[in-house]
Amino acid sequence: MTTTALPKHARAVVVGGGVIGCSTAYHLAKLGWGDVTLIERKQVSSGTTWHAAGLVTTLRDTESQTWLAQYSLKLYEELEKETGQATGFIKCGSIQLAIDEHKAEEMRRGCAMARTFGVENKEITPGQVKELFPLAYVDDLVTAFHFPDDGRVNPADVAQALAKGARQNGVTIVENTKVDDVLIENGKAVGVRTEKGDVKSEVVVLCPGMWGREVGLMCGVDIPLQAAEHYYLISEPIEGVHNRLPILRDPGRCVYAREEAGKILLGFFEPLAAPWGVEGIPENFCFDEIQPDWERMEPHLERGMQRLPILFDTGIRQFFCGPESFTPDHNYLMGRAPFVDSLFVACGFNSLGILSGGGAGYVIARWINDGIQPMDIWDVDIRRIQPCHNNKSFVVDRTYESLGIAYQMHWPNRQWETGRNIKKSILHDRLTAQGACFGESAGWERPNWYAKTGQKPEYDYDFHRQNWFDNNADEHRAVREAVGLFEQSSFAKILVQGRDAERVLNRICTADIAMPIGKVAYTQFLNIKGGVEADLTVTRMTNECYLVVTAAFTATHVRAWIVENIPQDVACVITDVSGAYAMLSVQGPNSRALLSQISSATFSTESFPFGTMQQIEVGYQSAFAIRIAYTGELGWELYIPTEMTLGVYDRLVEVGGEHGLKHCGYHTLNSLRIEKAYREWSHDMGPTDTLLECGLGFTCAWDKPGGFIGLDALREQRLSGPLKRRLVQILVDDPEPILIHNEPVLRDGERVGFTTSAGYAHTLGASAAMAYIKHEEGVTDEYIVTGNYTLEQADRTYNARISLTPMYDPTSARTRS
Ligand SMILES: Cc1cc2nc3c(=O)[nH]c(=O)nc-3n(C[C@H](O)[C@H](O)[C@H](O)COP(=O)(O)OP(=O)(O)OC[C@H]3O[C@@H](n4cnc5c(N)ncnc54)[C@H](O)[C@@H]3O)c2cc1C
């Protein structure tokens, strides 16, 4: 029952009684965590949840987000039977409309992928749209897609049903009580402080919706989100409008529509939004609306109503504006908070909180209960957030763009336009002068490709070959045949130091890092199930100092993983030195000759073998060089103190011409590594892919003293017969198509997986990709070679070859020579 009495102790405290908090408490209770207290500052659902439009549509961008929606749909359908509280669920289906060929292509691709994830959908004609939704104007449609299983709910009732189900299973819900602080002792959340007293607990889960940033600041966790105005209108009753009408989603006009008690509800995702509550959300906010700015919205209104022209002749009963929170990359903020034990977060749902809420609560509860995430949710994992993302001006500025992105074109390689230039390398201006077209990752501006003379360094987006295709081809060729220069200063660089640094790292690295000074290990961090949590290099700099290098976007996760695995009372500290060093990677067969010309060091195989590090000098400057390659060619990474970088760069460029040096961007790094079947963490491997499944078992020091986290799981998997899923490389026969990722893979006509990353393999002459192939009886070498493979993209099918080994492989000859 709802009570105002606040317990002194609970096994878990959930902060926030919106759909997410209620779902989390419900699922914890279902897992036997009866002793859960949910604390809500006002009343259940009184934040954002009560006024949501309640669409539960399942076409989402990724497998995990699709799963969250599918789970929610099923849960909301069944919740009334279990709790006696209706959710207003109606399986009305949904239709998505395309008004131009680009959107049609995007949707065909998305729908092909969604079918792989079990989302039923069918392309339909404008005439069929009219049959399903007679009030719709369809003359401008190119095509449409029907999702018969989608549905809608009454969000306030969903929250109440989840709350009721939670209470029935022992959860205490305390309303009208604000959490003022999260109690932390020795880096662990141990409860919360409220105006009515403290509640001690083993676990704290923050589900505070648009109050997320504010609540995060209480406990030092970056939760970057910002509320924005979010609109819909409800018409007067219209004859013939009934609750079986499907939901209509119209990205071209940035609107959606559904029936609402015989009326039409028309909702908006305008391209340029308006942040709200920037100076703070009013203390008394409870079931409140926002004063609408209809002047700003008028053009969107006009355009949206054209989809249902009857609205022009019908009165508008209600203009509604309510706040919803949006995040800088339009993905949720879920999972284990970094750097604070026993603290979990689930908020920032970007107007998708109802349709994801059931699944989100399930995932968080399972994560807490099992000590490990039940599925790979990296795209929404809070550990992708960097401190710079929580800068208030940035969050506010990005919100203008973030709200509308859901209904914009989802172009491959699309770059954010707002909130740019947070971090620039010291070479930024020089690279601009070279024609760099920058993309953003983890706040860093990074050259993605270099424009030729007379070409603008700007993207011309397309689903097929984009305007940088030829630039990429030239850069790719330069690395294969001469030498390429990559500016990769964004790499996260972490020093792990102390008497026990070796012991700490050896427990979490798959490789044996009890190695001589100057040796470099390519290694992974695994979880207890053998899933890959990080992919990195570890270099022994001195006896008590290691340098850990990883991709910029994984910096928070990797740092947190190390910190969490430093036992008490050992001598080991970590320091992020990412900004202290720039990194220039010199890759290609001529890299040796080039570096030999600018440095007195010896770069021969004997003096400077693969997988080693040496301090080198370049003119007056010094750097440490690591012989390693992510390109499949001979190459070195130069880590240069930032203040010495200009000199080294200038020298490289000065003499580079003699060796065929070419500036190369991240798109080229990607095309080279995919051609060589090098994996990228978060695409080709993640927490639910074991090291064996992703084909990196060779990094394991199986017999190292003390083992490492995940070793037992890998041993068990090794003994349990052929792997049921394995990562393979794919090459399409047709040289024309551009693969992106998420393309379904078929073996003898049967779906066996989908691509995880892709790029144009210029040396091989076609698009290549990585993909997990699944087969219950085992993905054996024989299984691989005996199948005929095809790839689906939109409504097209391409023949393809697949291989467990890299199709481009001059490995020994070139990389290690
Ligand atoms: C106009 C509109 C239409 C929408 N339509 C849809 C839709 O069709 N489908 C869909 O999936 N989503 C939709 N959404 C989005 C959806 O409503 C939200 O994503 C979802 O409700 C978020 O749930 P929540 O639990 O995270 O946040 P909330 O519902 O806001 O819950 C957070 C709760 O935390 C409480 N809280 C905060 N701080 C504290 C504290 N310090 N102590 C105690 N309690 C605290 C708040 O009072 C609040 O009740 C829509 C949103 C809007 C505005």
In this predicted structure, what is the pLDDT of residue 739? 97
How many Å apart are CA 526 and CA 692, to the nearest integer?
Answer: 11
Residue nearest to atom 27 of ligand 1 (CA): 209
Helix or strand or coil: residue 108? helix
**Residue 816 above 80 pLDDT?**
no
Angle subtended at Cα 232 by Cα 227 and Cα 237, rounded to the nearest 5 degrees: 155
In this predicted structure, what is the pLDDT of residue 4? 64
In this predicted structure, what is the pLDDT of residue 813? 45
Residue 582 DSSP symbol: E
Dihedral angle of Cα 615, 618, 621, 624, to the nearest 10 degrees? -20
In this predicted structure, what is the pLDDT of residue 587? 98
Look at residues 341, 337, 328 and name the one whose alpha carbon lies nearest to residue 222. 337
In this predicted structure, what is the pLDDT of residue 380? 97
In this predicted structure, what is the pLDDT of residue 34? 82
In this predicted structure, what is the pLDDT of residue 810? 76
Compute, in angstroms, the gap from residue 153 CA to the centroid of ligand 1.
15
Residue nearest to atom 35 of ligand 1 (CA): 16
**Residue 812 above 80 pLDDT?**
no
Residue nearest to atom 31 of ligand 1 (CA): 18
Span 147-205, pLDDT tens digits = 999 999 999 999 999 999 999 999 999 999 999 999 999 999 999 999 999 999 999 99
Share of the chain above pLDDT 90, in %: 98
Compute, in angstroms, the gap from residue 208 CA to the centroid of ligand 1.
8
How many Å apart are CA 400 and CA 595, to the nearest integer?
Answer: 46
In this predicted structure, what is the pLDDT of residue 354? 98
* Pocket probe mutation, ligand 1, options 39, 49, 403, max atoms within 8 Å of Cβ: 49
From the CA of 231, give the closest atom in ligand 1: 1
Q: Are strands 36-39 and 9-15 parallel, antiparallel or unpaired?
A: parallel
How many Å apart are CA 195 and CA 179, to the nearest integer?
Answer: 7
Compute, in angstroms, the gap from residue 167 CA to the centroid of ligand 1.
20
In this predicted structure, what is the pLDDT of residue 811? 59
The predicted model gives 765-777 an average pLDDT of: 97
How many Å apart are CA 219 and CA 179, to the nearest integer?
Answer: 12
In this predicted structure, what is the pLDDT of residue 1? 43
* Pocket probe mutation, ligand 1, options 26, 351, 363, max atoms within 8 Å of Cβ: 351
B/e letters for 184-206, b = 16+ CB within 10 Å, e = fewer, are beeeebbbbebeeeebebbbbbb
* Pocket probe mutation, ligand 1, options 354, 364, 399, 407, max atoms within 8 Å of Cβ: 354
What residues have CB less than 8 Å from 480, skipping those under 6 apart?
Answer: 588, 589, 633, 672, 762, 763
In this predicted structure, what is the pLDDT of residue 571? 97
| DSSP percent split of the chain into helix, strand, coil, nearest 5 | 30, 30, 40
- The rounded radius of gyration (Å) of the Cα atoms in the chain is 27
Span 217-248, pLDDT tens digits = 999 999 999 999 999 999 999 999 999 999 99
Question: Does the model's pTM come out above 0.75?
Answer: yes
In this predicted structure, what is the pLDDT of residue 601? 97
Span 680-722, pLDDT tens digits = 999 999 999 999 999 999 999 999 999 999 999 999 999 999 9
Dihedral angle of Cα 274, 276, 278, 282, to the nearest 10 degrees? 170
Compute, in angstroms, the gap from residue 207 CA to the centroid of ligand 1.
9
Residue carrying the six token digits 């402080």: 193
**Residue 259 above 50 pLDDT?**
yes
Compute, in angstroms, the gap from residue 185 CA to the centroid of ligand 1.
29
Compute, in angstroms, the gap from residue 430 CA to the centroid of ligand 1.
46
Share of the chain above pLDDT 70, in %: 99
**Residue 3 above 90 pLDDT?**
no
Residue 396 and residue 274 in contact, taking contact as beta carbons nearer than 8 Å = no
Compute, in angstroms, the gap from residue 361 CA to the centroid of ligand 1.
13
- Give me 730's structure tokens: 């794919």
Residue carrying the six token digits 């990353």: 757
How many Å apart are CA 672 and CA 476, to the nearest integer?
Answer: 7
The predicted model gives 515-529 an average pLDDT of: 98
**Residue 815 above 60 pLDDT?**
no
From the CA of 285, give the closest atom in ligand 1: 47
Compute, in angstroms, the gap from residue 48 CA to the centroid of ligand 1.
3
Residue nearest to atom 19 of ligand 1 (CA): 353
In this predicted structure, what is the pLDDT of residue 2? 47
From the CA of 353, give the closest atom in ligand 1: 19
H/E element, 102: helix 101-116
Look at residues 760, 671, 689 and name the one whose alpha carbon lies nearest to residue 725. 689
Compute, in angstroms, the gap from residue 93 CA to the centroid of ligand 1.
24
**Residue 563 above 60 pLDDT?**
yes
Summary mean pLDDT of the chain: 96
Among 2-16, 108-122, 153-167, 666-680, the least confident range: 2-16
**Residue 814 above 60 pLDDT?**
no
What residues have CB less than 8 Å from 458, skipping those under 6 apart?
Answer: 437
Residue nearest to atom 18 of ligand 1 (CA): 353
Residue 801 and residue 733 in contact, taking contact as beta carbons nearer than 8 Å = yes
Compute, in angstroms, the gap from residue 225 CA to the centroid of ligand 1.
12
CB atoms within 10 A of CB 456: 10
The predicted model gives 619-642 an average pLDDT of: 97
Angle subtended at Cα 335 by Cα 332 and Cα 336, rounded to the nearest 5 degrees: 145
Ligand 1 is surrounded, with C-beta below 6 A, by 15-21, 39-42, 46-49, 51-55, 155, 178-179, 207-211, 215, 230, 232, 267, 322, 324, 347, 349, 351-355
How many Å apart are CA 585 and CA 625, to the nearest integer?
Answer: 9
**Residue 817 above 80 pLDDT?**
no
From the CA of 324, give the closest atom in ligand 1: 53
Residue nearest to atom 37 of ligand 1 (CA): 208
Span 283-340, pLDDT tens digits = 999 999 999 998 999 999 999 999 999 999 999 999 999 999 999 999 999 999 999 9
- How large is the greatest C-alpha to C-alpha distance in the chain, in angstroms? 85
* Pocket probe mutation, ligand 1, options 26, 55, 324, max atoms within 8 Å of Cβ: 324
Residue nearest to atom 13 of ligand 1 (CA): 351
Compute, in angstroms, the gap from residue 272 CA to the centroid of ligand 1.
21
From the CA of 22, give the closest atom in ligand 1: 25
Compute, in angstroms, the gap from residue 50 CA to the centroid of ligand 1.
8
Compute, in angstroms, the gap from residue 316 CA to the centroid of ligand 1.
25
Residue carrying the six token digits 């919360």: 192
Compute, in angstroms, the gap from residue 96 CA to the centroid of ligand 1.
25
